[in-house]
Amino acid sequence: GENVEQHPSTLSVQEGDSAVIKCTYSDSASNYFPWYKQELGKRPQLIIDIRSNVGEKKDQRIAVTLNKTAKHFSLHITETQPEDSAVYFCAASMGSGAGSYQLTFGKGTKLSVIP
Amino acid sequence: NAGVTQTPKFRVLKTGQSMTLLCAQDMNHEYMYWYRQDPGMGLRLIHYSVGEGTTAKGEVPDGYNVSRLKKQNFLLGLESAAPSQTSVYFCASRVPGANVLTFGAGSRLTVL
């Protein structure tokens, strides 16, 4: 099955700086890569996603890049704010077959933005 | 439109007791999932269902059973709870072809 590795496990940045979280996946058949944000005590919520036919996607201060050849993708947050403090999860899913039913998550990155 | 609702939100069990977690969604989603979340382990898939009357094993299915008798409900059962099943459990759902998962608020289970 798919295996998703996520680094770092914890990340502290000063407010206004950028944060980068990296993930690698094992199955070359995976073609959908979402990022979820989980604030303390709350449910995970999708913040951005990318499909394998696209190399980069941006939404205001967040962006995701994908390198299919290297099988890795990254989340970039610019001009970080205290409300960006949360745990971020990357995930991967295949586009067809039984694997398309499942989303495999990384172990998460706890981001702390220091005011 | 409540989305995905989990009950109960909190529960304390003794080793060997049984219980059922209920997940209900009112969005007419075909696919439903149960995940467990443990510190440093991310979200791990326990079981999932791609339609009424169907279930399948995920990454960590041992010690759990599930049922999907109605499209809107997905039940997670623990027949004989163990301390290793202390965790936060999340239910999620989605429609086929749309990859976005909608999560419930979570159920915190403690097994003593």
Mean pLDDT computed over B26-51: 93
Query: What's the distance, CA A85 to chain centroid?
Result: 14
Distance CA A53, CA A68 (A): 9
**Amino acid identity at B7:** T
Mean pLDDT computed over A4-9: 96
Q: Quick check: B27 and B79 in contact, CB under 8 A?
A: no
B95: contact with A, CB 8 A cutoff: no
Mean pLDDT value across chain A: 93
Say what the pLDDT of residue B40 is: 84
pLDDT tens column, B58-106: 999 999 999 999 999 999 999 999 999 999 999 999 887 777 899 999 9
CA distance B71 to chain A (A): 16
Say what the pLDDT of residue A99 is: 60
Q: Quick check: B14 and B82 in contact, CB under 8 A?
A: no
Say what the pLDDT of residue A98 is: 60
Q: Quick check: B4 and B101 in contact, CB under 8 A?
A: no
pLDDT tens column, B13-29: 999 999 999 999 999 99
Distance CA A98, CA A90 (A): 20
CA distance A24 to chain B (A): 15
Q: How many CA atoms lie within 13 A of A96 on its CB side?
A: 0
Quick one: tokens of A34? 């979402």
A99: contact with B, CB 8 A cutoff: no
Tell me the sheet residues that pair with A23.
A6, A73
Say what the pLDDT of residue A94 is: 79
| Cβ-defined contact of B43 to A89 (cutoff 8 Å) | yes
- pLDDT exceeding 90 applies to what percent of chain A? 80
| Cβ-defined contact of B101 to A93 (cutoff 8 Å) | no
Say what the pLDDT of residue A96 is: 63
* pLDDT beyond 80 at A106: yes
Mean pLDDT computed over A57-80: 96
Distance CA A60, CA A78 (A): 9
Q: Which of A1, A34, A101 sits opposite B48 (nearest CB)?
A: A101
Distance CA B91, CA B22 (A): 9
* pLDDT beyond 90 at A20: yes
Q: Give the pairing type, strands A10-14 and A109-114.
A: parallel
Which residues have a Cβ under 8 Å from the Cβ of A69 and sit 6 or more positions away?
Answer: none
| Cβ-defined contact of B41 to A107 (cutoff 8 Å) | yes
Mean pLDDT computed over A54-63: 94
Which residues have a Cβ under 8 Å from the Cβ of B84 and sit 6 or more positions away?
Answer: B63, B111
Say what the pLDDT of residue B5 is: 97
| Cβ-defined contact of B45 to A6 (cutoff 8 Å) | no
A89: contact with B, CB 8 A cutoff: yes
A27: contact with B, CB 8 A cutoff: no
DSSP labels, A58-111? EETTEEEEEETTTTEEEEEE-S--GGG-EEEEEEEEESSSGGGG--EE---EEE
Q: How many CA atoms lie within 13 A of B22 on its CB side?
A: 10
DSSP state of B54: E
